[in-house]
Structure 1
């Protein structure tokens, strides 16, 4: 499946929030998802590129994509 074909089940917009809040809130949101569901996280915090993927993997979630090509960073994470 191509990344363009993935339709997230939920979206978490963390623009304007400083780190570590995007990573913390992403992990909190993942708790509410069912196995197999996908969360999209949008952040403009530069440090989140290190925190969100590492924290997601450490908690057993799969990071499907990280897109930092624009002014925000888009994370696609599967539970």
Structure 2
């Protein structure tokens, strides 16, 4: 017997999710969470910058102290 339907069967479509209605308290909480995430991200960026700066400074000092051209200047 041959089948007219060939290949893999398509999955059934899921119904679209309904949009949620937010009241003022929910909107305030969402806005507060967004602001907290911005502050946290900003803090992480600043911390990473200072960490990178300290490591780069230490590496530069080490490089210059081992470099022969720097020793000639002293």
TM-score range, shorter chain: under 0.3
TM-score between the two structures when normalised by the length of structure 2 = 0.23
Normalised to the residue count of structure 1, the TM-score between the two structures is 0.22
- Greater RCO structure (CA 8 Å; 6+ sep): 1
**Whose Rg is larger?**
2
Greater strand fraction, Structure 1 or Structure 2: 1
Higher percent of residues as helix: 2
